[in-house]
């Protein structure tokens, strides 16, 4: 049930010096890391938008028994498209989406069975740390206390209990963390908004008591006797962060790609933390020198110790590190080394650190290689190329050229990355097409199904999920995608502010449910998209090649004739054809294919490996969106090559082995 937002957890440490790691970890058996993270299926959710624990009907308990209602505790019924969609007043609904909506850790605990049956093996949880008092930072990225859980979500104990229950259900937990900045915890002099200018430092008036306070607390360590009311709602905690030297104080970033502005400036009103010094006169791309000459500050040590605490206390399995682009690579490397070593000391040999690395794929590869981050997320071109390939608006790629024009080009041995193995991409890139920011879209935001330029967007969701779950990389599903959420900013007035709100509808309904609804939940285990993800995840779990196999885009033909094979390409800006690829592991080949034509079933011949599958060999259909095709057998044909005749349903997906 929802926690009381005004409650106080007095047991929280005020200072990092109060943490005794040896006592905290003594005698505990920590949950081990997975052997390979490419085996996992991630599910990213915003805690405030997921569940408040009041839902009934449509989903089951952990053991699968249906959750009945209504009851005194469960009052939210399942969404009905015909009765509930588009009924809310749009302006009031939108305004509600800008603020806290009521999701809790208790509600998340209640949905572990729903997630497990979907096929999720790792939950990526948005930041749950205490936010600046009175702020609307429901997303969790405006931290006021690095050692506490925000009471809107619940308590530290509830986070720990959720992680334990998730582990028991076979689900690991990756916690979203912030190193680059804290919340809007202090005010600049005069209460003005200062902006970055030539690296100048600006004067601070003091720490804030709450989000509206002009900074009436001293900008220095606070004496408990003089300011007893500062704990726990005011300023910044733990107390080590109260030193003025913690902050860069250079004002808000204006040029988001200007070096070194994007490293030193405040992230909008969120205050930048000074991690340390590195040469500023050198080129921004000289990562090795910047790392080698980096000198860390006490603030970076404090951050590392704060996040060591959450591993020790709650048995977290990995971190997603926010805004890596805005941090010195040397600071990232320092943090990565500290966290990896600490996790290994607890038996977590493969604690995973996923960095949000924007700025292109080449930059992501470079950052991963030089800092020791385990995987990159937010690589600019992957979400867009995946989405628009599934929608038939972009090329799948062409292995016969060095151009990086299509989705499959991004995962082969490329002239950009200089990687000599497919396995690098499988282990170090997280793939997704919906998320809470949609940075690649520009100002106007929309989910996959809310694409204003594609009225049939929903029809293409199955091909997109098939690509995401069975191609190289670590797949991640954004909450609500399994229920075909279609959030989109359809304003035509030229306004762009708060556009990302439309990507963050509530699964539990509340005041900001999807499809402009209120008070109806979306935990529908019978939804066709939920069932499709479940079936593909089951297949992926049972067949190693679909998780770790080498990947090859395949030529296809409409006739099977020798000279008629080619890699599919858009014609007139549209690709209405079959895209096929193989995953090969050892001597096992799995042929996967999607159809980007939503209107007709297509029969094609898809090339397969001649040595593994010579002409005359039979391959069976393991999965098809046309149930009658599942279990059918096709015979490999060909003289100069091996090709399998397959039929792919409209906007459908098949797997043969």
pLDDT in tens, 164-221: 999 999 999 999 999 999 999 999 999 999 999 999 999 999 999 999 999 999 999 9
If you average pLDDT over residues 608-626, what whole number do you get? 97
Q: What confidence category does residue 9 fall into, taking pLDDT thresholds of 50, 70 and 90?
A: very low
Helix (H, G, I), strand (E, B), or coil: what is residue 77?
Answer: strand
- Strands of 65-214 (E only): list them: 77-78, 122-125, 129-131, 143-149, 172-177, 186-188, 204-207
Q: Give yes or no for residue 288 having a pLDDT over 90.
A: no
Percentage of residues in the chain having pLDDT higher than 90: 84
Which two three-digit tokens encode residue 510? 């509340």
Which two three-digit tokens encode residue 138? 């429901």
Tell me the CA distances in angstroms from 60 to 68, 159, 312, one per residue in order. 9, 22, 31
- Whether the CA torsion 323, 325, 326, 327 is positive or negative: it is positive
Q: Give yes or no for residue 602 having a pLDDT over 60.
A: yes
Residue 93 has what DSSP assignment? H
Q: What confidence category does residue 639 fall into, taking pLDDT thresholds of 50, 70 and 90?
A: confident
- Ramachandran region, residue 323 (left: φ > 0; alpha: ψ -120 to 50; beta: rest): left
CA distance 144 to 213: 14
Q: Which helix (H) or strand (E) holds 527?
A: none
Q: What confidence category does residue 404 fall into, taking pLDDT thresholds of 50, 70 and 90?
A: low
Tell me the CA distances in angstroms from 242 to 14, 222, 253, one per residue in order. 11, 7, 22
Tell me the CA distances in angstroms from 650 to 52, 57, 463, 529, one per residue in order. 38, 31, 10, 15
Q: Which of 199-213, 390-404, 421-435 has the highest mean pLDDT?
A: 199-213
Which two three-digit tokens encode residue 191? 């209460």
Q: Give yes or no for residue 378 having a pLDDT over 70.
A: no
What is the pLDDT, as a whole number, of residue 417? 45
Helix (H, G, I), strand (E, B), or coil: what is residue 644?
Answer: strand
Topology of the domain comprising 548-656: Immunoglobulin-like (2.60.40)
CA distance 624 to 643: 19
Q: Which helix (H) or strand (E) holds 394?
A: none
What is the pLDDT, as a whole number, of residue 6? 39
Contact 560, 641 (CB under 8 A): no
Is the overall model pTM greater than 0.85, yes or no? yes
CA distance 644 to 560: 9
By mean pLDDT, which of 23-37, 429-443, 536-550, 580-594 is the weakest? Answer: 429-443
Q: Give yes or no for residue 105 having a pLDDT over 80.
A: yes
Q: Give yes or no for residue 142 having a pLDDT over 80.
A: yes
Rounded to the nearest angstrom, the gap between the alpha carbon of residue 138 and the centroid of all alpha carbons in its chain is 17
Q: Which helix (H) or strand (E) holds 383?
A: helix 381-390
Q: What confidence category does residue 458 fall into, taking pLDDT thresholds of 50, 70 and 90?
A: very high
If you average pLDDT over residues 64-84, what whole number do you get? 97
Over the chain, what is the mean pLDDT?
93
Residue 506 has what DSSP assignment? B
Q: Give yes or no for residue 3 having a pLDDT over 70.
A: no
What is the pLDDT, as a whole number, of residue 379? 62
What is the pLDDT, as a whole number, of residue 418? 47
By mean pLDDT, which of 2-6, 27-31, 311-315, 585-589 is the weakest? Answer: 2-6
User: Half-sphere exposure of residue 196, counting CA atoms within 13 Å on the CB side?
Assistant: 22
Q: What confidence category does residue 227 fall into, taking pLDDT thresholds of 50, 70 and 90?
A: very high
Can you give the residue ranges of every domain in the chain? 548-656
Which two three-digit tokens encode residue 555? 């030529």
Which two three-digit tokens encode residue 456? 């049939």
What is the pLDDT, as a whole number, of residue 1? 38
If you average pLDDT over residues 69-75, what whole number do you get? 97
Pairing of strands 77-78, 143-149: unpaired
Can you give the C-alpha Rg of the chain in angstroms? 25
What is the pLDDT, as a whole number, of residue 412? 65
Q: Which helix (H) or strand (E) holds 532?
A: helix 528-542
Tell me the CA distances in angstroms from 522 to 23, 160, 201, 433, 506, one per residue in order. 43, 26, 48, 20, 8
If you average pLDDT over residues 325-354, what whole number do you get? 97
Residue 552, preceding bond cis, omega within 30 degrees? no
Residue 26, preceding bond cis, omega within 30 degrees? no
By mean pLDDT, which of 332-346, 408-422, 584-598 is the weakest? Answer: 408-422
Tell me the CA distances in angstroms from 453 to 27, 337, 496, one per residue in order. 57, 45, 17
Pairing of strands 588-595, 578-585: antiparallel
Percentage of residues in the chain having pLDDT higher than 70: 95
Which two three-digit tokens encode residue 59? 């989903």
What is the pLDDT, as a whole number, of residue 414? 44
Both ends of the chain: CA-CA distance in Å? 47
Contact 313, 175 (CB under 8 A): no
Q: 238-256, pLDDT tens digit by residue? A: 999 999 999 999 999 999 9
Q: Give yes or no for residue 421 having a pLDDT over 70.
A: no
What is the pLDDT, as a whole number, of residue 366? 83
CA distance 114 to 76: 16
Tell me the CA distances in angstroms from 645 to 143, 147, 420, 467, 580, one per residue in order. 56, 58, 32, 20, 12
Q: What is the dihedral of CA 496, 497, 502, 507, to 10 degrees?
A: 170
H-type alpha helices, 127-169: 156-168
Nearest to 445 by CA among 383, 358, 357: 383
CA distance 657 to 591: 6
Q: What confidence category does residue 508 fall into, taking pLDDT thresholds of 50, 70 and 90?
A: very high
- CB burial of residue 437 (10 Å; 0-12, 13-18, 19+): middle
Place of tokens 């090649």: 545
Q: 338-349, pLDDT tens digit by residue? A: 999 999 999 999
263 Cβ neighbours under 8 A, 6+ residues apart: 326, 327, 328
């Amino acid at each position: 049930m929802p926690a009381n937002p005004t409650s106080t957890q007095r047991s929280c440490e005020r200072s990092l010096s109060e943490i005794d790691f040896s006592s905290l970890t003594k005698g505990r058996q920590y949950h081990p890391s997975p052997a390979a993270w490419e085996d996992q299926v991630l599910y990213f959710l915003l805690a405030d938008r997921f569940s408040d624990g009041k839902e009934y009907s449509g989903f089951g308990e952990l053991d699968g028994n249906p959750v009945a209602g209504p009851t005194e505790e469960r009052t939210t019924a399942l969404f009905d498209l015909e009765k509930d969609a588009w009924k809310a007043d749009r302006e009031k609904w939108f305004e509600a989406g800008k603020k806290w909506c009521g999701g809790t850790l208790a509600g998340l605990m209640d949905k572990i069975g729903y997630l497990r049956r979907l096929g999720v093996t790792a939950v990526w949880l948005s930041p749950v740390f205490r936010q600046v008092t009175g702020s609307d930072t429901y997303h969790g990225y405006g931290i006021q206390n690095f050692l506490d859980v925000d009471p809107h979500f619940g308590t530290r104990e509830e986070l720990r209990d959720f992680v334990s229950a998730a582990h028991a259900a076979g689900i690991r937990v990756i916690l979203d963390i912030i190193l680059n900045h804290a919340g809007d915890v202090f005010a600049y002099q005069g209460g003005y908004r200062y902006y970055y200018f030539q690296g100048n430092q600006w004067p601070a008036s003091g720490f804030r008591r709450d989000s509206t306070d002009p900074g009436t607390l001293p900008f220095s360590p606070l004496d408990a006797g003089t300011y007893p009311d500062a704990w726990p709602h005011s300023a910044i905690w733990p107390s080590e962060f109260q030193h003025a030297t913690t902050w860069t104080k250079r004002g808000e970033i204006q040029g988001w790609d200007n070096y070194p502005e994007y490293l030193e400036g405040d992230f909008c009103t969120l205050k930048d933390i000074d991690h340390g010094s590195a040469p500023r006169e050198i080129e921004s791309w000289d990562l090795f020198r910047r790392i080698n000459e980096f000198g860390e500050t006490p603030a970076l040590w404090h951050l590392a110790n704060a996040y060591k605490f959450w591993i020790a206390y709650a048995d977290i399995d990995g971190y997603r590190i926010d805004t890596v682009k805005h941090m010195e690579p040397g600071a990232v490397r320092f943090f990565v080394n500290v966290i990896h070593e600490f996790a290994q000391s607890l038996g977590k040999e493969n604690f995973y650190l996923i960095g949000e690395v924007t700025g292109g794929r080449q930059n992501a590869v470079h950052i991963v290689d030089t800092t020791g981050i385990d995987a990159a997320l937010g690589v600019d071109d992957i979400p867009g190329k995946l989405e628009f390939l599934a929608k038939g608006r972009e090329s799948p790629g062409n292995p016969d050229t060095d151009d990086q024009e299509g989705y499959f080009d991004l995962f082969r041995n490329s002239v950009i990355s200089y990687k000599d193995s497919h396995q690098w991409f499988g282990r170090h890139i997280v793939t997704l097409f919906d998320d809470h920011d949609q940075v690649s879209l520009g100002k106007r935001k929309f989910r996959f199904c809310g694409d204003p330029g594609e009225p049939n967007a929903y029809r293409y969701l199955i091909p997109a999920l098939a690509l995401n779950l069975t191609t190289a990389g670590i797949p991640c599903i954004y909450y609500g995608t399994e229920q075909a959420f279609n959030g989109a900013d359809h304003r035509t007035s030229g306004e762009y502010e708060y556009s990302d709100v439309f990507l963050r509808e509530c699964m539990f309904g509340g005041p900001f449910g999807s499809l402009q609804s209120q008070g109806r939940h979306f935990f529908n285990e019978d939804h066709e998209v939920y069932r499709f993800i479940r079936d593909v995840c089951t297949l992926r779990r049972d067949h190693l090649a679909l998780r770790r196999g080498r990947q090859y885009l395949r030529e296809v033909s409409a006739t099977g004739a020798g000279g008629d094979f080619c890699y599919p390409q858009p014609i007139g800006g549209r690709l209405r054809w079959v895209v096929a690829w193989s995953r090969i592991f050892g001597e096992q080949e799995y042929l996967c294919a999607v159809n980007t034509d939503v209107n007709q079933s297509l029969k094609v011949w898809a090339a397969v490996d001649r040595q593994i599958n010579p002409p005359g060999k039979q391959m069976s259909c393991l999965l098809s969106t046309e149930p009658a095709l599942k279990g059918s057998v096709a015979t490999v044909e060909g003289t100069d090559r091996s090709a399998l005749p397959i039929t792919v349903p409209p906007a459908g997906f098949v797997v043969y082995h």
